[in-house]
Amino acid sequence: MHKIPLGNSGLEVSEIGIGVWQASSEWGASDEEVVQAVEKSCELGVNLFDTAEGYGKGHSEIVLGRAIAKVGREKVMVATKVFSSHLRYEELQKACRASLTRLGIKQIDLYQIHWPDPWEQIPLKHTMKAMEKLYTEGKIRAIGVSNFAVRDLEEARSCLSKADIVSNQIRYNLLERQVEEEVLPYCKKNGITVLAWSPLGQGALTGKYGPRKLPSEPARANNPLFSKHNLLAANRLVKVLKKIANDHGKTVSQVALNWLARNPIVVPIPGARNATQADQNAHSVGWKMSADEAREVERACEEVKLDYFLR
């Protein structure tokens, strides 16, 4: 498994990671199966595992901690997140200590601000000061953010003096490419790694869902990608992915992930319910679609017109 630098942190992460949100009531995957997904990923050289205190109220971190105890701490880069209701100076540090306890580790590799604070309007400088304190104390090895626009990134970076932001975790998949306009160019220019969340559109890009076959968990209940109109549009794109998949002996989801990973600053972090999905996702890299195939995918994307107001 090829490794890439995580921003300017000096750390290296696998070119594909895995999301562990699935170990939570929102997804309802079995804890045991998610532990097996982590084990399988490690076996295949994946080292980046993403969780958050917000996933299942900490349950996802506990499950990842269980997996770490099995596979060995040295095999795992732990990326977790502080929720947007814990962004005050003292509360953020408390949240970090609680995450460390749930994960059963002494140091978090990448600590991320989950979302910019929409409610309390806590000055970002207080939050970043707390992040920097954790960094200088060695409780975290790198500072990351999530769902930050360029204006947020710029402000956050200007509040730091001893470290820089190494990553921005954002929604990025073949159906939802909005970040290509501003965020990706900014991150590329500034050496910030992009962790792509929902890289499979929560399953809409796997080809296994349609208007008559819908997922039922709370995590996807309000995702507009699963409206009839959007799923039909997604499945037209899936047809193109399927052709490329067949030509390479791959699956539709592997093509969808491979397309994202073509960009050297992007690390997709697909969520896996079980070891089979983790295995498939790890094998979405290590091969290349041709430039013509990539263009064919992009042309098909241009035809997709999503409607976010249909539900």
Ligand X SMILES: NC(=O)c1ccc[n+]([C@@H]2O[C@H](COP(=O)([O-])OP(=O)(O)OC[C@H]3O[C@@H](n4cnc5c(N)ncnc54)[C@H](OP(=O)(O)O)[C@@H]3O)[C@@H](O)[C@H]2O)c1
Catalytic residues: 55
List 80, 156, 201, 235, residue binding ligand X (CB under 6 A): 201
Site for ligand X in 1-20 (CB under 6 A): 19-20
201, 154, 152: which is closest to 176 by C-alpha?
201
93 binds ligand X (CB under 6 A): no
Least Å distance, CB 91 to ligand X, is 19
For the CA atoms of 108, 69, 146, 256, what is the dihedral angle to 10 degrees?
A: 140
Cα angle 230, 149, 311; round to 5 = 25
List 7, 21, 127, 194, residue binding ligand X (CB under 6 A): 21
Closer residue to ligand X in complex, CB, 107/223: 223
Q: Is the dihedral of CA 218, 227, 215, 63 positive or negative?
A: negative
Tokens matching residue 198:
């929902």
83 binds ligand X (CB under 6 A): no
235 binds ligand X (CB under 6 A): no
List 253, 258, 267, 289, residue binding ligand X (CB under 6 A): 253
99 binds ligand X (CB under 6 A): no
Closer residue to ligand X in complex, CB, 22/93: 22
Contact 285, 15 (CB under 8 A): yes
Least Å distance, CB 22 to ligand X, is 5
Using CB under 6 A, which of the segments 87-95, 133-141, 182-190, 196-204 binds ligand X?
A: 196-204
Helices vs strands, H then E, count in the chain: 11, 10
203 binds ligand X (CB under 6 A): yes
58 binds ligand X (CB under 6 A): no
Least Å distance, CB 136 to ligand X, is 25
Q: Which residues bind ligand X (CB under 6 A)?
A: 19-22, 27, 50, 114, 146-147, 169, 197-203, 206, 215, 253, 269-273, 277, 280-281
